[in-house]
Amino acid sequence: MSSNTYSGVQTPFQLFDRNEWKDLNGHFSYHLTHDDVEKLHALNEPLTISEIEEIYFPLAHLLNIFIQRTKDAHSVVNGFLKKNTQQLPFIIGIAGSVAVGKSTTARVLQKVLSMLPDKPKVDLVTTDGFLYPNSVLIERNILNRKGFPESYDTKLLLKFLAAMKSGIEEFEVPMYSHMEYDILKDRRQLVKKPDILIVEGINVLQVNSSRGNNVFVSDYFDYSIYVDADEADIMDWYVDRFESLRATSFQNSHSYFHRYANMNKEESIAMATNIWNEINRPNLHENILPTRYRADLILEKGSHHFVKQVKVRKI
């Protein structure tokens, strides 16, 4: 049952359990195949057509309300100012912990939004591409802080978002390789006049005033989403993913993590747990989790990886 209270405390969010949320699907219909689903889900992260239909279809419909409202406002303001300026991209930010599944959320949302009635062009950019190259992190002695605020080229990320909201037709952004654990030197992603831009990353809702920034990444968002779950579940997912990667991608001699390939299962679990406790857990508590309630909508997952509750900011 949706409610205005959360654990007996007033909340700025309306709460919907899964059954309530899926009933908001409305009259739009989309057709997704099992092949579509296979291309969207990530390693060790289950994804079903039911999850897409019950969670992401209603989410796409809600977002479309805001997108259409923005288009209407643009038209009215243009008329008032007697201008004929171009429509700017509607930018959606997606945040959440390492291993919580925000990348899958971003990919599914990109797919579903592209199927809206007017078939918008939807681009997806991850903030991994705005990490400093390893050479810079090593020079600054912060390679073990990768993912923390100081490891990102925030100025470049802000420059990109400002360009998108200034009507710049195209912008090249860096690309990151999880295999090489570094920025790719010879590859760029060209973002060219999207109707909708999804920006996904652990840092997109962070406010780091200590760096003297007067503008924050989230200032450019038209809507923001936080993917949430219990920390114990996220840690389990991280450890499981590490173990799966050890048996697959880490076996590649070009992988940055190839040195872990010959570990047995117990050693792999111990290493993943140590990385979580030494790096990912502090980053979650210091920099990621505090941004949760800055989002417009929170997708709360259960231990099975599927969304069990949706929190929508009241307006």
**How confident is the model over 183-198, as pLDDT tens digits?**
999 999 999 999 999 9
Q: What is the average per-residue pLDDT within 84-97? A: 96
Q: Is 39 annotated for ligand binding?
A: no
Q: Is 97 annotated for ligand binding?
A: yes
What's the confidence (pLDDT) of residue 1?
Answer: 42
Q: Is 268 annotated for ligand binding?
A: no
pLDDT exceeds 90 at position 122: yes
What's the confidence (pLDDT) of residue 181?
Answer: 94
What's the confidence (pLDDT) of residue 213?
Answer: 61
What's the confidence (pLDDT) of residue 2?
Answer: 43
Q: What is the 3-state secondary structure (H, E, C) of 273-302?
A: HHHHHHHHHHHHHHHHHHHHHHCCEEEEEC
CB-CB contact of 250 with 257 (8 Å): yes
Predicted confidence (pLDDT) per residue in 94-117, tens digit? 999 999 999 999 999 999 999 998
How many separate domains does the chain show? 1
Q: Residue 168 belongs to what domain range? A: 5-313
pTM, rounded to two decimals: 0.93
Q: Is 146 annotated for ligand binding?
A: no
Q: What is the CATH number of the domain that holds 229?
A: 3.40.50.300
Q: What is the average per-residue pLDDT within 149-155? A: 96
Q: Is 302 annotated for ligand binding?
A: no
What's the confidence (pLDDT) of residue 225?
Answer: 98
Q: Is 136 annotated for ligand binding?
A: no
Q: Is 95 annotated for ligand binding?
A: no
Residues of 65-104 as b/e, b for ≥16 C-beta within 10 angstroms?
A: eebeeeeeeeeeeeeeeeeeeeebbbbbbbbbbbbbbbbb
Q: Is 96 annotated for ligand binding?
A: yes
Predicted confidence (pLDDT) per residue in 20-59, tens digit? 999 997 655 677 777 888 788 776 788 988 899 999 999 9
> Which residue type, as a one-letter code, is found at position 234?
I
- Give the Cα separation of 107 and 120 in Å (integer): 15
